[in-house]
A and B are shown apart, each in its own frame.
Chain A
């Protein structure tokens, strides 16, 4: 697969579902922020110094004798259309802010399945990430660390003995690491415990965000949980802490799912069946409505109330219903109503084909 396939196709590594049909933790990510010593951070960059950063990184990539780096592809954002860049953000391979910029010195590097990505000249010179399905933070860290080591052989990273890796924003300094987990918590929401759980998570020093990270609203019971502190803890400690807390949330969600099924079997099956009914029969549907209903159907699939739909297909749909990807599918720009119609079509088609696992 190439960057072209990653943009045009529907598959990205994180969509695989490693734990069979039960995945309360949908995907996990470890991201490292790195900068090159002496060069102003991207928010101050002009064309010339932006190109200088890009060329240094390009050289590190081209000259690399490592395993990971040479297997990645690089493309600058002026070579992609706005729609294509937006698709990258919808697939969690780039950030919305970075993807929004048509610039010759902003670029992305991706490996064949999109599990490794490096954003060039985002908020920092380099933001490298590993994004995997399920809850496997240690694996994420180990893969992103390998990429980091290979880059570091050539690049002079901005590093200080006391402050660690230096970043544009002081909230990232130190390890420069943000580890996050995407969780689906419908039972916690239905049982009325959501606010309490989210409050507890933030009390534990973790941040809770929506599906698309910073600034995005939580929708469809999908939440992203990440570490806030990057300085004064080791990378392993940060991963372990997030892993431990996530496991507890997953356990709680799991318990509540069983309880729901025991105490409110008919109401639950009714809710899930109705969601499936709307999704497979709607002619016009907004993105928000679709995501909300996906949550119910996903719960149904997890709890084996609905059969014949794979979680992989649902993960694919979560991206396929986003505006840029829909327009990519349609092969043209569409207004809101046209997108809502196309979205309903795509969902209907996908649910009809019912990929059996």
Chain B
């Protein structure tokens, strides 16, 4: 196979680029590849954070294409296209509106999509209780494993009480 660019030397570098879900393959000789990779990764390329993040929003992970959809966040007016373009969300409501799309983006950025850190005391009361319940449930399993059934029953009663509070 000859190089796609110069059509003279044999193609030894096979470059696959994925952009907005479109796969673009090129076969290049070493010289042309060096030039091309310079374009892709070199300092002159706009390898900027918004571009990279824009890419993260759905580009790499084949998220359903919502480009046709006309959904806009009712609070700030940002569409998913806008978010992809600027690499930023518009407001706190966008996180709800575009939740399914964000799930895979967040996983690709953080390797995770569930918050484990601090919870604000105000506005986070329910979340705090839920987290305590999770913790107690783990303690029940632990107690059962150690055959401390009485202790497990006590913790279970606490969990029931807390779940009542939540509902």
Contacts and interface: CB of A to CB of B under 8 A. Distances in A.
Interface of A: 35, 37-41, 43-44, 123, 145, 148-149, 152-153, 156-166, 168-171, 173-175, 177, 214, 229-235
A168 B110 contact: no
Nearest to B87: A169
Contacts of B118: 145, 148, 164-165, 175, 234-235
B119 interface: yes
A232 B89 contact: no
10 contacts: A37-B92, A40-B90, A44-B78, A159-B120, A160-B95, A160-B96, A161-B126, A232-B110, A233-B112, A233-B117
Interface majority SS on B: helix, strand, loop or mixed? loop
Interface stretch (B3-11, B13-21, B29-37, B101-109): B101-109
B89 A234 contact: no
A181 B96 CA distance: 34
Interface majority SS on A: helix, strand, loop or mixed? loop
Contacts of B89: 41, 166, 168-170
A234 B117 contact: yes
Given A40-B91, A169-B53, A229 B75 contact: no
A160 B123 CA distance: 9
Question: Which of B56, B109, B112, B117 counts the most chain A CB atoms within 10 A?
Answer: B117
A159 B119 contact: yes
Interface of B: 49, 53, 56, 75-76, 78, 86-93, 95-96, 102, 105-106, 109-124, 126-127, 130
B49 A170 contact: no
A166 to B, nearest CB: 5
B122 to A, nearest CB: 6
Contacts of B105: 170
A145 B120 CA distance: 11
A174 B110 contact: yes
Nearest to B112: A232
A163 B112 contact: no
B76 A229 contact: no
Contact of A152 (B87, B91, B121): B121
Contact of B109 (A157, A161, A162, A170): A170
Contacts of B76: 40-41, 44
Contacts of B126: 161
Contacts of A149: 121
